[in-house]
Amino acid sequence: MYVPDDPPETCPACGDPYASVSRHDDGFVVNLLDNERYRRVCFHPVDPEADADAAFDCFHHTHRQTGSSAAE
């Protein structure tokens, strides 16, 4: 996993604030059914000219950032 040096201020996939971002170039699993910290993860493709090895960025949204009533 890689964290981009210049992440956007809001999630480019949905436009909402996010807690963190990670960049991935291989497969991984996302399970948010029982996640106490994050409610949603948005996936956004990386410009191949910016990073030829990366496939996509993952923007991690907390419960509060998604409007969920679950505790953050």
* pTM score above 0.75: no
CA distances to 1, 37, 46 from 63, in Å:
23, 7, 25
> What is the rounded distance in angstroms from the CA atom of residue 72 to the CA atom of residue 70?
6
Angle at CA of residue 43, ends 38 and 49, nearest 5°? 140
Please check whether residue 72 is in contact with residue 62, taking contact to mean a CB–CB distance below 8 angstroms: yes
Tally of CB atoms within 10 A around 69: 6
Residues 9-52 have pLDDT tens digits of: 999 999 999 999 988 888 777 777 777 888 888 999 887 776 67
